[in-house]
Amino acid sequence: MKLTFLGTAAAEGLPAVWCNCAVCRKAKEAGGKEIRTRSQILIDYKLLVDFPMDTYMHMLGDKLDLSKADTVLITHAHMDHCYPQEFVLHGEPFAHGMTEPKITVYGNSTVAETFAKATRAELKPEIAPSVPMKTVKPFEQFKTASGYNVTALPAVHTKGEDCLFYAVEHCGKTALLFNDSGILPDVTYNKMAELGLKFDLVSFDCTYGHAKHGEGRHMGALDADGERDKMKARELVHGGTKYVLTHFSHNCNLSHSELCEIEKDYGFTVAYDGMTVEI
C-alpha cells in the first residue's frame, strides 16, 4: 500500500487561522513542511481517510484525480474530519469524466446524521446514488469496492459519539490509522489481537507534540510511545513496523523541524503534508 498524508494538522491548521503565536509566525515565514492543512490520508489513490474542508486544497497541491477514490472512511463528525457538502458536486453537471462513478462514505451514526443534514438542501436526486452513506459500528469489518479489508475500531475522543479509527488491509499489508484519539483501554487492544490484526504501519494522533497528555481525547508522542508498547506486548506489530506521527496542533509549540529532531530517538516518523510512505 502507498499512503499519502495529504494533511497533518489538527482542527485549526498550522498556521492557525486567527493565530499569531511563535509557531504560527514561523510557519508563515518558512513555508514548506512547516505548513500543515487539516488531517487526511489517501491510500493508493482509491481510499480516503477523513474528508476535511481542506480536501480541495489537497487536490490542487498534489494534482490529484480524486475521482479515482471509491471509498471515504470518516473517523468522526468534527468539521476538520467531516465536510459532507463537497459530495453534492460528485457528478454531472459539476464533474465530468470521473474515473469512478461512485464513492461510498463510511462513518458512525453521528457522521451519517451530519452527512444527511449537510447535503439535504443541495444533493440532486441524480447525484445521490453516486455517494451512498453507510453507517458502521466499532469492531465492524467490511470490504470496500476496491477490495480493501477495513476494521472500524473505537477511538477515545468525543463523549456521546462512537468515534472511530480504522485498520486497513490490502495485499497482505495492514495500516492502523488514528486521527483523533486518546489512550485506548486494554479491551480494545485485546480485541484487535482476537481479530488477528497485525500492523505494518501505525499512524498516531500527536496533537500535543512531544508530550504525555494522559487520559485525554488526544495524544502526544510520549502517549504514542506507551501505546506502541501495548501493541508490542500483544504482538500486534513486528520488527519492521513503521510508526508515524500526525495531526499536530500549533499549541504543541514545536515546528516540524524541531519535532523531527526530538522524535528521531524514539523511532517515529514525523509526517508532513504530502509525505508518502509505502508498506
Query: At residue 9, does pLDDT exceed 80?
Result: yes
Q: How do residues 128-148 score in pLDDT, each as one tens digit? A: 999 999 999 999 999 999 999
Question: Quick check: 279 pLDDT over 90?
Answer: yes
Average pLDDT over residues 150-179: 95
Largest CA distance in the chain: 54
pLDDT score, position 179: 87
Alpha-carbon Rg for the chain, nearest whole angstrom, is: 18
Domains and CATH numbers, the chain: 2-278 (3.60.15.10)
The pLDDT value given to residue 216: 80
For residues 181 and 205, the answer to whether their CB atoms sit within 8 Å is yes
Query: Which three cell numbers mark 22?
Result: 511563535
pLDDT of residue 59: 96
Answer whether residue 50 shows pLDDT above 90.
yes
pLDDT exceeds cutoff 80 at 27: yes
Crossing angle for the helix pair 221-233 and 186-194, nearest 10 degrees? 40
Is 158 a residue whose pLDDT tops 90?
Answer: no
Q: Does residue 7 surpass a pLDDT of 80?
A: yes
- Residues 34 and 114: their CA atoms lie apart, in Å, by 32
pLDDT tens-place string over residues 214-245: 778 899 999 999 999 999 999 999 999 999 99
- pLDDT tens sequence across 89-105: 999 999 999 999 999 99
- Residue 54 to residues 24, 41, 50, 166, Cα–Cα distance (Å): 18, 12, 11, 21
Instruction: Say how far apart CA 260 and CA 245 lie, in whole Å.
Output: 10
Closest among 196, 169, 166, 165 to 182, alpha carbons compared:
165
40-43: strand order across its sheet:
133-135, 104-107, 71-73, 47-49, 40-43, 2-7, 275-278
Residue 39 zone, left/alpha/beta (φ > 0; ψ -120 to 50; rest): beta
> pLDDT at position 234, please?
97
Asked whether residue 213 carries a pLDDT value surpassing 90, the answer given is no
